[in-house]
A and B are shown apart, each in its own frame.
Chain A
Amino acid sequence: MHAWYFTFEYPPDIGGGLATYMRIVTAAYAARPASSLVVFCLSQAQSGLVRRSHPHPNVQIVSLNPHRFGSVEELGFWVSTGRMFERFADLLLMQIETGMLDLPRPDYMEFPDGFGIGALAIQQKLCRNARYADVPVVVTAHTPTYLIDRFDQMPEPELPRYWTGQMELQAIAGADLVIGCSQAILDLLSRELASTGARLPRAEVLHNPFPPAPAGPQPDPQPDLPRDHFYMASRLTHWKGAEEAIRALELLWDDGCRIPFLIYGDDAPHHASGTSFGGYLLRRYARHADAGLLRLMGKRPRDLIRRTARSAVAQLHPSHFDNFPYSVVESMAEGTLCIAGTNGGIREIAQDGRDLFLVDVQDRHAFAGALRRALALDGASRAAMAAHARATIAAQCDPQTFLDRKEALVASLRNSPARRSFPFLSPPDPSCILPTPPPATGPQLSVVIPYFNMGRFIDATLASLTRSTVAGMEIVLVDDGSTDPASRDRLDRLHADHGLDADRLRILSIPNGGVANARNTGVRAATAPFVALLDADDVVAPRYYEKALSVLQTYDEVSFCGAWIEDFDTRGRIRNWATWNAEPPLHLVMNQTNCQSLVYKREAYLRDGWHDPDLRMFLDDWDGMISLLAGGHRGVMIPEPLFGYRIRAGSIFRSGGGLWDINYGKITRKHAALYDRWGAFLAAFLNVNGPNRHYHIAGKPGTMPR
């Protein structure tokens, strides 16, 4: 098969467990001349945006420098990185399809779950981007970073951490296939998704690959050496469980044992103590450090650790949760005695007392018991465990078997029925599953434009509509009692100037009642099964409505559809602004849609989407979207800037003043039941991020002073 893998770690630039996995997968594909692999990875070292190279005849590396892509500032680092991966997958596909690049189309794409770097490519596929249509997307669950942050006692709702976690879940929920490195991670993710009513898509377990030891005699484990230390080799973080190990070892030390505990690895920040974790351990356990029993060794070359470890009692892996850690796999493959936690996936291939010792590391006395078992092992028993461990890794983790099984799983996706259900993280109410309206005899789409003294801008707006690729469109322009003579006069010439007959452009005139009333009036007058709102100074890209209707016609449970926003002024684009699928809870506290220019199933708008004239023309569009959420509806946002939002002096949004706070109050009172439903999340979110004037872009940190 021809595979495209995306990764945020790749050797030698960026190391880690994912880098180890990618190194092994790369070597496994290099040994399959009939297959090919393209790896998309990150590099800070290269000077340009993209670099493509051939480390093997059938392997290509496309390394991308995220700081040369130009959107970190406007989107945040990980959203920008996800977009960069999606854009470059699209660019390579474009080059293949035009013959610019001699490369086979991929049989599948694989993303890791971490940082949600696949979320935007998957969203493109869900939004029916034709380039991705026949390419299955696999997400491998190595362990989402938001779970690691939770294990590490980081504040989960803090932006952009919270949003990165949401992208990780969106990628997992939207994948064609999730591969878990263990059943443990799949069980955990199932519970996470179920907590908001979502579910894991098709998921299979494939334990991580690891190359077998080279043929020949195995290294001598030297079973009869005196044992003089325990050790860990891991970055110093809370979730890796060094503190649990120290607390268990304290029981031995208090009994007079003088065997020290060596910790190898870089120090790391520790949010809970406001210092580094190493610093925290040295302060908290100063008496053991002073006695030489606790030693922080810093990062050391692996060969040095390996040599020193020949006299170790055991290597400890006391993580609070570990999916399928390479640190344990490598140690087992080398025949090093390990003591690992039961909360993770290694127990799925290894047996306690045969391959290693497994223990509940949170139970201090049980952990100490495992340490004593290791101390009590005689040479023969130690050698037998080492042999078992090596054999287990060789049998369970063979890289070619791993690829055979993965490719068989991917091949089985070919016969899957086309997806008709959108994988929301908070699925809609069943009553809001609205079948696609039957083909209309009249217009397919009604675009409603509220108009008040907008004569200067309406031509650009209509010109963008006449370039739309949706043919069956009516435009319902609602003149909301314009008072400016030039703007009133302009209405008389719109049909002629834009080549629109009276059926394609209907102009309604009503007494001034505000933008919400004008929008509602237009929707009432609309005749098409789909309606779109568009302000009289904004514009749309030619394919916006075509793409939005495609989404609405594919998924019964999608009530409305939007897109990313391009803010512009007289000098063109200012920035892109990312929007996200409309579902609670984040949208209740910060608008994340182009709520002034959505495309709706008309039935959904008529049922729950009315804009509220009581809000005095301010935030009524956001409130209209929240009304839909309160009614149980959900919306999808296409990750392309298809809507142009004009930034101009004097717009109502820029002059809202005190209406911000007044209308927030009205909105929360009006939808009290929905806000109550998500109250726990909202309280935690607001406590850590502050009120919503401190954040506008979910992928970036807030600005609240700390």
Chain B
Amino acid sequence: MSDTLPAWLAAIRPDPSDSAFPPLVAQPALHRQGFSLGGALRVTFDPSKGGALRVAGIVPPLGAAHWRLTPVNLGAADWYAVETDLDPLALRGLESLIPCLDAASPRKLSLFALLRVIGPDGRSHDGSSTMVELGPERRGAVFPVSLSDIPAPLLHEAASARLIFFLEARDVDLDLYGLSVTGIAAPPPVVADAALHSLRDRAGVPPVAGPARILSAATRKGWAGKVTDHAEIAKGVFLNIEPGPGRKVAVSRGWSKLEIDFTAAAASRWRSLEFRFAPFADTGRMVALLRVSAMTAQAGPLPVVVILRHYPGQGVPFRDSVLGAGLMLYPDAAPRESRFDLSPYLPDSTALHETGLMLFFPPDTGLLTVEGIEASLADLSAAPPPAAETG
């Protein structure tokens, strides 16, 4: 697994022995323009509206030295930035950049990381992490940036690269203990996708234990019914909500579609469909394949959280692992396929794993029209190598 070992790109911490740090401890500095924070880190903000940024050096009696950044009258509708340069050569061959900010904010602070890659023609492209909120407890907050959002050729010819944290500039402190940046190397190309396609080519039946779990009008048990807590609505497919007064999910079967109405389950703390797999052994390359053809009644997209539920058995509670970024449903029934790596989430303690793939729907799901949802297991290690191209 050497292809996924992290590559260290940067590690920055405040250094109390640095000559610039003690003065900040004695007398915090009020900056009215951008400035350098200990050499490798730069701080930028727009002072044109009269705002400023205060930086102090903190050396607590117990604990680590850190910088404290405090916006002064920048305003809740403004931003400031903390940035550092990266070696563009180090980005080559990476799948993800993993910045980790060791920080805290006593009144909470939202920020995200942005990777700016500048090409030889001077034009820049950006990719970013998600928005993250720092809280009062010091922690290493990670801001993964997928390099798939940056054009691959640019990563190979980049002239320079910068990692920029954009922070909301409300008047709350940021206690900054350090920054580290690592990279996750990309897996060998082609193999995984080729294996997936190969599996799909086999009439849609992956060559692993147990059949696919399919929810559709054809597999639905019965024509119409209501689920008030937990029910198997197709073979190996379970619908769950939290029981409560008036709560129910109506499941109606049409000729070609299934309608699942979650409207009366909006107050439930969860609404889920579970696709329970037959027990299987972990080969280290197990994946779940999910093919969804379902239409929401919402005007906008509907986010669905995808979770692997592992049942250890013998009275041990189940364990849930969030898989990737989940999936989106839209007001159309175009089929969408997803693949989720399972092996990293499976414990070593059991030989056979009992699991379910759970789809958790948000409270405003309303009516869901299902043409078909299919969940299946696949073992990438068992897939044949991709066929050589001919012709």
- Known interface pairs A48-B128, A50-B114, A269-B367; A130-B49 also in contact (CB < 8 Å): yes
Tell yes or no: A631 within 8 A of B by CB: no
- Known interface pairs A52-B124, A98-B46, A275-B259; A640-B328 also in contact (CB < 8 Å): no
CA distance A573 to B259 in the complex (A): 40
Contact with A along B186-212 (1 / 0, CB 8 A): 000000000000000000000000000
B48 x A49 contact (CB < 8 A): no
- Known interface pairs A97-B46, A100-B44, A703-B266; A49-B131 also in contact (CB < 8 Å): yes
- Minimum CB distance partner of A268 in chain B: B331
Tell yes or no: A543 within 8 A of B by CB: yes
User: Secondary structure of the A side of the interface?
Assistant: mixed
B149 x A90 contact (CB < 8 A): no
Tell yes or no: B78 within 8 A of A by CB: yes
B297-333 CB contacts (< 8 Å) to partner A: 297, 299-301, 303, 325, 328, 331-333
- Minimum CB distance partner of A542 in chain B: B73
B303 x A100 contact (CB < 8 A): no
Contact with A along B175-186 (1 / 0, CB 8 A): 000000000000
Contact with B along A637-648 (1 / 0, CB 8 A): 000111000000
CA distance A467 to B126 in the complex (A): 36
B266 x A705 contact (CB < 8 A): yes
**Which of A51, A101, A269 makes the CB contact (< 8 A) with B297?**
A269
Nearest-CB distance from B59 to chain A (Å)? 24
**Which of A54, A95, A541 makes the CB contact (< 8 A) with B170?**
A541
A279 x B295 contact (CB < 8 A): no
Binds A, one of B16-24, B103-111, B347-355: B103-111
Report chain B residues within 8 Å CB of A642.
Answer: 76
- Known interface pairs A94-B78, A124-B77, A705-B246; A572-B107 also in contact (CB < 8 Å): yes
B105 x A91 contact (CB < 8 A): no
A266 x B333 contact (CB < 8 A): yes
A94 x B46 contact (CB < 8 A): yes
B171 x A102 contact (CB < 8 A): no
CA distance A456 to B369 in the complex (A): 54
Contact with A along B115-131 (1 / 0, CB 8 A): 00000001111111111
How many residue pairs between the two chains, A and B, have CB atoms under 8 Å in the bound complex? 163
How many B residues face the partner with a CB closer than 8 A? 72
CA distance A104 to B246 in the complex (A): 57
A543 x B44 contact (CB < 8 A): no
Tell yes or no: B100 within 8 A of A by CB: no
CA distance A264 to B303 in the complex (A): 28
- Minimum CB distance partner of A564 in chain B: B76
- Known interface pairs A98-B44, A543-B73; A266-B332 also in contact (CB < 8 Å): yes
A572 x B46 contact (CB < 8 A): no
Nearest-CB distance from B336 to chain A (Å)? 10
CA distance A542 to B72 in the complex (A): 8
Tell yes or no: A78 within 8 A of B by CB: yes
Tell yes or no: A453 within 8 A of B by CB: no
Tell yes or no: A493 within 8 A of B by CB: no
B52-89 CB contacts (< 8 Å) to partner A: 72-73, 75-79, 81
Report chain B residues within 8 Å CB of A700.
Answer: 364
B45 x A98 contact (CB < 8 A): yes
Contact with A along B128-170 (1 / 0, CB 8 A): 1111110110000000111011010000000000001010001
Nearest-CB distance from A389 to chain B (Å)? 30
- Known interface pairs A279-B254, A541-B171, A543-B73; A70-B130 also in contact (CB < 8 Å): yes
A705 x B267 contact (CB < 8 A): yes
Tell yes or no: B38 within 8 A of A by CB: no
A94 x B73 contact (CB < 8 A): no
B246 x A98 contact (CB < 8 A): no
Report chain B residues within 8 Å CB of A54.
Answer: 123, 125
**Which of B48, B172, B264 makes the CB contact (< 8 A) with A706?**
B264
Tell yes or no: B39 within 8 A of A by CB: no
Tell yes or no: B34 within 8 A of A by CB: yes
- Known interface pairs A47-B149, A640-B76; A267-B333 also in contact (CB < 8 Å): yes
Cβ contacts A to B, 21 pairs, < 8 Å: A49-B129, A70-B110, A70-B131, A77-B300, A94-B79, A95-B81, A98-B81, A145-B299, A268-B295, A268-B332, A269-B331, A269-B369, A276-B295, A299-B334, A469-B73, A542-B73, A543-B73, A571-B136, A572-B135, A640-B75, A703-B266
Known: A54-B123, A572-B136. 17 other contacts (CB 8 A): A46-B149, A48-B112, A49-B129, A70-B130, A115-B300, A161-B299, A164-B299, A266-B295, A266-B332, A268-B295, A268-B332, A269-B295, A279-B254, A299-B334, A543-B76, A572-B106, A642-B76
